[in-house]
Amino acid sequence: MVDTVGLVREHVGAARAKGRSIALVPTMGALHAGHLSLIEAARSRDAYTVVSIFVNPTQFGPNEDLAAYPNTLEADIDACRRAGVELVFAPSVAEMYPAFDQTRVHPGLLADTMCGVSRPGHFVGVCTVVAKLLNIVQPDFAVFGQKDAQQALIIRRMVADLFMPVEIVVAPIVREADGLAMSSRNAYLAPQERAQAKCLHRALKAGAAALSAGTMDESTLRAVMRAEIAETLGESEADERIDYLVAVDAETLQSIARDTPQVLLAGAIRFGQARLIDNLLVDPPGRAG
Amino acid sequence: MVDTVGLVREHVGAARAKGRSIALVPTMGALHAGHLSLIEAARSRDAYTVVSIFVNPTQFGPNEDLAAYPNTLEADIDACRRAGVELVFAPSVAEMYPAFDQTRVHPGLLADTMCGVSRPGHFVGVCTVVAKLLNIVQPDFAVFGQKDAQQALIIRRMVADLFMPVEIVVAPIVREADGLAMSSRNAYLAPQERAQAKCLHRALKAGAAALSAGTMDESTLRAVMRAEIAETLGESEADERIDYLVAVDAETLQSIARDTPQVLLAGAIRFGQARLIDNLLVDPPGRAG
């Protein structure tokens, strides 16, 4: 494990000098099977794989779970070693945000919806730290999870807009047996909350079924998804705990229309301390493949 | 001359494969002796020198001189050739800001003063386009002019904050015989305005003399500089045309104190259509070198 920019560049430079391609998997630690699938996506291309572990303060709001975010650094380093990761970069906040740090990368309109509404400033923090990490490691490609669909889209947009010389790979969601998307925040769930939490994926699947049957109306799709949540949580709890449920154009996050090529069904729901997100990408009928 | 990102990368990649170091000199065209000094700074290090010529719309406010900005592309390309520039990159707006472009780089506090006050959003446009150009060309170093002191400082801050793998070189101001700083906007000056314009540099020199004599009080230094402007323009015209005159810490752009290591004296004044800027860096007495 290294914790300075200088050491990362030394190791990466040595790997590049040996002709290796370089992969970056940015994480906030608390690694689970979802992260391991991102690492596997990098390893499967025979890249020198760098995993960053950094709980980035600028992407947490003042009332969010920064202080409580799970810290399992030693277990994470072990898991990386077993997964064949060649370099773990776990910097301090002072290393990533040196004195007088001022610059912020703003993603624009894509951040004005979904998670960006309830987490103002979140995606500015995400873009800023990802820009820093990409410039520090200078990988050939970086792997992000589709679990954070809006984040993956915003990062792809940032890399395209700023002409960053890196390929962004988005790896599919890894789920528990009952469909719950893997997340470090699942660790917050009490047993009853854990049992309820699978309703989010079920709701998205119900929306996908309606969409595949020809429903291209956003409010109908929302109602279908909400009904599944209400079945588990009850009507008033559903309204209280649903942060958002959307059916939007997967590239623009804007309203769907008859000719939308791909639809993103996505939701965020609070279960106790945890705010869980999940999503499905669906090709409308007649447009698959 | 090339006008696409792909072609720039092809040429730069070929030069790098030959072991050359790469220099970028970003310009908005209308090249004058000041720009040529930036090119010379790159050439003196034997770098493969890329000059970008791009009048960046996002750094102009709605009431500014974007449409009127001098366009002398053919003469500029000629001047670059004569100066030994190996590649001119003159992209279209659509090449630099493709469809759906959203991402913006915000410089933070350093932009909240001086030119940033009268040109809101200007430095967001500057940071964004410079980030794009640095990522397109991926130079070993990029050369900026000290004439735009605040810009040079903000770019250095951005590169440090985002860990961009590039060295920023700041080249000294080039002046006309009477002290007027070279600027593409000098072309806007009517003969009488041109004669008056030299008072800006004279004012800065008066401020520097006062500083060197021991005056470390900002309002006194401002008054000394303003008096020089008023001598040329008259009292009421001076007040009307002075955008700002400041004596600030050269690294932070904040108020000076007894222990400020270096002071930036800077001013912006309107002469007819032109808003001219100039500055001097001064080491307070006893701190020189």
- Candidate from B100, B136, B157 with C-beta closest to A102: B157
Chain B residues within an 8 Å CB radius of A102: 107-110, 157, 161
**Residue pairs spanning A and B at CB distance below 8 A:** 76
Q: Which long-range contacts (CB under 8 A, 24 or more apart) does A272-275 make?
A: A272/A188, A272/A189, A272/A190, A272/A193, A273/A65, A273/A68, A273/A188, A274/A183, A274/A185, A274/A186, A274/A188, A274/A189, A274/A193, A274/A197, A275/A118, A275/A185, A275/A243
Q: What is the mean pLDDT of residues A127-155?
A: 98
Nearest CA in chain B to A6: B163
Q: Over chain A, what is the mean pLDDT?
A: 96
**pLDDT score recorded for residue B287:** 60
Taken as a whole, chain B contains a residue count of 289
Of B35, B106, B122, B201, the active-site residue reads B35
Helices (H), chain B: 5-17, 33-43, 73-82, 93-96, 115-118, 122-137, 149-161, 191-197, 199-212, 218-233, 235-241
Q: In sequence order, what are the residues at sequence separation of 6 or more whose Cβ sits closer than 8 angstroms to the Cβ of residue B46?
A: B20, B21
Our CA-based measurement puts residue B124 at a distance from the nearest CA of chain A, in whole angstroms, of 10
- Interface residue of A93, A102, A155 to substitute, partner B, most B CBs within 10 Å: A102
Structural fold of domain B5-171: Rossmann fold (3.40.50)
- Burial of B156-166, coded b for 16+ CB within 10 Å and e otherwise, reads bbbbebbbbeb
Closest Cβ opposite residue B161 in set A102, A106, A162:
A102
Which of A110, A132, A160 has its CB closest to that of B163? A132
Closest partner residue to A107 (CB to CB) among B102, B110, B164 is: B102
Tokens of B204: 């800065």
From A45's Cα to the closest Cα of chain B, the distance in A is 24
Q: Is A35 a catalytic residue?
A: yes
* Residues of A engaging B, defined by a Cβ cutoff of 8 Å: 5, 98, 100-110, 127-128, 131-132, 135-136, 138, 157-158, 160-165, 252
* Residue B163 with chain A: CB contacts under 8 Å: 5, 132, 135-136
* Contacts with A127 from chain B: Cβ below 8 Å: 103
CA pair distance A266, A109, nearest whole angstrom: 17
Nearest CA in chain A to B109: A102
Q: Which of A161, A167, A168 to mutate to test the interface with B (most CBs of B within 10 A)?
A: A161
> Do residue A98 and residue B132 have CB atoms under 8 angstroms apart?
no
- Beta-bridge partner residues of B175: B181
Within its chain, how far is the Cα of B142 from the centroid?
Answer: 13
Q: How many CB atoms lie within 10 A of CB B287?
A: 12
Q: How many CB atoms lie within 10 A of CB B289?
A: 3
DSSP state of B259: T
pLDDT value for A257: 93
Matching CATH number, A184-281, of 1.10.3720.10, 3.40.50.1100, 3.40.50.800, 3.30.1300.10: 3.30.1300.10
Which pair of structure tokens corresponds to residue B76? 């500029």
With a cut of 50, list the residues of chain B below it in pLDDT. Answer: 288-289
The pLDDT tens digits of the residues spanning A255-278 come to 999 899 999 999 999 999 899 999
Closest residue of chain B to A132, computed from CA coordinates: B162
Using an 8 Å CB-CB cutoff, list chain B residues near A157: 100, 102-103
How far apart CA B285 and CA B158 sit, in angstroms, is 31
For testing the chain A interface, which of B24, B124, B135 should be mutated: the one with the most A CBs within 10 Å? B135
Torsion of CA B202, B206, B211, B213, to 10 degrees: 140
Element spanning A193, H or E: helix A191-197
Four-residue CA torsion sign, B171, B174, B179, B184? negative
The bridge status of strand A274-282 relative to strand A263-271 is antiparallel
Of B104, B108, B138, the CB nearest to A102: B108
What are the boundaries of each domain within chain B?
5-171, 184-281
Percentage above 90 pLDDT, chain A: 97
Q: Which of B100, B109, B135 sits opposite A162 (nearest CB)?
A: B135
What pairs with residue A141 in β-bridges? A23, A167
Residue A162: C-alpha distances to residues A202, B5, B90, B272 (Å): 37, 12, 17, 36
Cα B123 to Cα B114: distance, rounded to the nearest angstrom: 11
Are B162 and A103 an interchain contact pair (Cβ–Cβ within 8 Å)? yes
Strand ranges of the sheet holding B22-27, from the earlier edge strand across to the other edge? B87-89, B48-53, B22-27, B141-145, B167-171
User: Best interface-test mutation with A: which of B123, B162, B252 has the largest number of A CBs within 10 A?
Assistant: B162
Residues of B with a Cβ under 8 Å from any A Cβ are 5, 98, 100-110, 127-128, 131-132, 135-136, 138, 157-158, 160-165, 252
Contact A114, A246 (CB under 8 A): yes
pLDDT band at A289, cuts 50/70/90? very low
Which pLDDT value is given to residue B198? 97
* CA A200/CA A280 separation, integer angstroms: 11
Question: Given this model, what pLDDT does residue B286 score?
Answer: 76
Contact residues for B80 (Cβ-Cβ < 8 A; gap 6+) = B31, B39, B51, B88
Specify the pLDDT at position A287.
60
pLDDT digits (tens, 9 = 90+) for A164-212: 999 999 999 999 999 999 999 999 999 999 999 999 999 999 999 999 9
How much is the pLDDT for B115? Answer: 97
Q: What pLDDT sits at residue A88?
A: 98
ipTM for the assembly: 0.95
The CB density around residue A210, as the number of other CB atoms within 10 Å, is 20
